[in-house]
Amino acid sequence: MGFGDPSGNYWLGNDLLYQLTANYRYKLRFDLQQNVTGNWYYAEYSRFRVLSEADSYTLMVSGFSGNASHDAFGYHNGEKFSTIERDNDRSSSNCAARYGAGFWWRDYCGGCHVNGASYLFYWQGLPGGTQLWRLQLSRLWLQCK
């Protein structure tokens, strides 16, 4: 089930993502605003799919393009979705608990963090160095192909 405010901060929910992406009919786009400079960047993925609950909502993503200059989300490809209650990541800690949000976390909770309420809200590899990886805003869009 989704959660949040549909007119603002909202997550569709993994069951709906699974249904919508089952046939790769959508590409995924991130709009990312840097915290310090306010500059906007984007990252698009031409192939985006979320598998079913039986597969722990595994992420299938490829085909990166955009001016974000680094495929930070692609780093999470093949990962199972982790929540505070279901720690599916490969790290020694529960990344969802550490960062306050469910996500397709990987071994060291890295790559990107685009949907949490934590102060650690980032996209690795944005231009300008590590101090400029922090985000002020992110939007995730499903676009028909």
**115-124 pLDDT per residue, tens:** 766 567 899 9
Count of alpha carbons within 13 angstroms of residue 109, beta-carbon side: 18
pTM exceeds 0.75 for this model? yes
CB 133 within 8 A of CB 139: no
At which residue do the structure tokens 């609950």 appear? 53
- Domains of the chain in start order, with CATH, are 13-144 (3.90.215.10)
Task: Give the strands of the sheet with 135-144, arranged side by side.
Answer: 59-66, 40-50, 26-34, 135-144
CA neighbor of 135 nearest in space, from 40, 69, 5: 40
Residues 90-109 have a mean pLDDT of 87
pLDDT at site 115: 79
**78-87 pLDDT per residue, tens:** 999 999 999 9
| Percent of residues, the chain, with pLDDT higher than 90 | 53
pLDDT band at 98 (very low <50, low <70, confident <90, very high): confident
